[in-house]
Amino acid sequence: MDFNKEQLLDALAKIAPNRYLQAVLIFVLFVFVAKIADMFMTRFIKRLLKKTKFTLDDQILDIFHRPIFVSILLLGLAVAADRLDFSQTVHFVTLSGLKTVAIFLWAKAAARFLQLIIELVSRDDSRFTLIQHRTLPLFNNLLVLLVVALALYFVFLAWNINVTAWIASAGILGLAISFAAKDTLANLFSGVFILTDAPFKLGDFIVLDSGERGEVTHIGIRSTRLLTRDDVEITVPNSIMGNAKITNETGGPYERYRIRVKVGVAYGSDIDKVKSVLMDVAGSQPEVCKAPAPRVRFRAFGDSSLDHELLCWVDKPVLRGRVTHLLNTAVYKRFIKEGIDIPFPQRDVYIKTAPAPSTG
């Protein structure tokens, strides 16, 4: 390597005795090498990769194409600057500046490459359950932070800055910030756990232990938003969501939701007829699922009625209110038509007359 370098310098000295002219020739030579590398990547490798069935290799070439080209030019500038025989300070600043440009250039390429790999991994839900489409923004942000931190670390090394002192200062500062913003950090970590554990997802209907029910419209790092049936948006901090008991009405193996219509009939009613009428009502509603089939249950002997319950399913929880209304209306009309009485509580009041006062 040294022999080739000495030969190159001797050849340059014969061609151009002036050091500045030698530096220009060195840079022109590296520009020529960079152009050859660029032509090799665009005309040969890119055409070869287009023949494959995969798009990943084309994307990788697009990511690293420019960094390779620019790195050759930066190397040429470094060699040319070394030939100019600058003072020690100017030489150090020049090389450190070129190293800084190269570090950030490759850091950007590394971040794009890692994001591409993460996106590819997220498509296989069967093998990688943690990295999924809904958690992509989280992992992309974490990767960017990691790459930026490493890039700054190497920049400090390029400028001969003591990294240990900066890391110690950052640790003390981070400890102070963690105490000052503990609630924010609690929401942040809870948001990470919600995104990774996925107790619910966008579009699910959930009920909190405090009674709020709504559709999940946003899952952020700090908070989760619910849209109620009254079109009122509720924002709940993730620290509360992470510790609350949540009922996911859309969860489970299916998105269907079961409706319960409770009705009481008078004592002495034909319960077989009651069951037949309730089944006819359920079958006449197009939004009631055929499978699982509706069913009727005789639940209890009430104080004033024989308590029955019509159980049927709808495709989505959002249909619960409207279908319940339609079923209640249809049941009431059919019972009137079929002569089935729906009793109401009755109380008999006996007034006991007090005996007349004695006159003796």
The pLDDT tens digits of the residues spanning 138-157 come to 678 778 889 998 999 999 99
One domain, residues 300 and 223: no
pTM: 0.59
Q: Are residues 125 and 14 in the same domain?
A: yes
Q: Quickly state the pLDDT bin for 3 (edges 50, 70, 90).
A: very low
Residues 47 and 114 in one domain: yes
Number of structural domains in the chain:
3
pLDDT > 70: percent of the chain: 86
13 domain residue, yes or no: yes
Amino acid (1-letter code) at residue 111: A
Do residue 125 and residue 153 come from a single domain? Answer: yes
Q: How far apart are CA 240 and CA 48, in angstroms?
A: 54
Q: For residues 304 and 345, is the Cβ–Cβ distance under 8 A?
A: yes
Helix (H) or strand (E) holding 99: helix 88-122
The pLDDT of residue 189 is 76
For residues 152 and 200, membership in a common domain is answered with: no
| Residue 176 domain-assigned (yes or no) | no
Judge if 230 and 266 occupy the same domain: no
Residue 276 in domain: yes
pLDDT for res 360: 53
The answer to which of 65-74, 181-190, 324-333 has the lowest mean pLDDT is 181-190
Please give the angle made by the CA atoms of 69, 72 and 76, to the nearest 5 degrees: 140
Task: Give alpha helix (H) positions in the chain.
Answer: 2-15, 19-39, 46-50, 56-83, 88-122, 136-158, 163-180, 182-197, 238-243, 271-284, 320-338
Q: Does residue 271 share a domain with residue 148?
A: no
Of the pLDDT bands very low, low, confident and very high (cuts 50, 70, 90), residue 2 is very low
What pLDDT sits at residue 200? 87
Looking at the predicted structure, is the pLDDT value of residue 176 above 70?
Answer: no
Residues 243 and 261 in one domain: no
Domain that holds residue 156: 2-161
Question: Average of pLDDT values for 108-128?
Answer: 83
Mean pLDDT (whole number) for 29-45: 90
Give the distance, in angstroms, between the CA of residue 317 and the centroid of all CA atoms in the same chain.
23
Average the pLDDT over 34-60 and give the result. Answer: 85
CA distance 196 to 134: 9
For the segment 5-14, the average pLDDT, to the nearest whole number, is 65
What one-letter code names the amino acid at 195?
A: L
Residue 181 in tokens: 């913003």
Query: 350 in a domain, yes or no?
Result: no
Q: Is residue 216 part of a domain?
A: yes
Domain assignment of residue 359, yes or no: no
Considering the domain architecture, whether residues 275 and 142 belong to the same structural domain is answered as: no
Strands 213-219 and 205-208: antiparallel
Q: What is the pLDDT of residues 56-66, one digit of tens each?
A: 888 899 999 99
pLDDT at residue 213 is higher than 80: yes
Q: What's the mean pLDDT in 311-328?
A: 93
- CA dist., res. 222 & res. 181, Å (int): 12
Identity (one letter) of the amino acid at 65? H
CATH of the domain at 261: 3.30.70.100
Residue 149 lies in a domain: yes
- Name, in order, each residue with C-beta under 8 angstroms of 280's C-beta and a sequence gap of 6 or more: 334
Average pLDDT over residues 208-233: 88
Residues 75 and 69 sit within 8 Å (Cβ to Cβ): no
Predicted pLDDT of residue 192: 74
Establish if 343 belongs to a structural domain. Answer: no
Same domain? For 215 and 275 the reply is no
Task: Give the CATH number, domain containing residue 202.
Answer: 2.30.30.60
Kindly tell me the number of DSSP H helices and DSSP E strands found in the chain: 11, 8
Nearest CA to 40 among 74, 73, 69?
Answer: 69
Instruction: Please tell me whether residues 18 and 93 are part of one structural domain.
Output: yes
**Span 9-34, mean pLDDT?**
80
Are 136 and 279 part of one and the same domain? no
Q: What is the pLDDT of residues 221-266, one digit of tens each?
A: 788 999 998 889 999 998 888 888 999 988 877 888 999 999 999 9
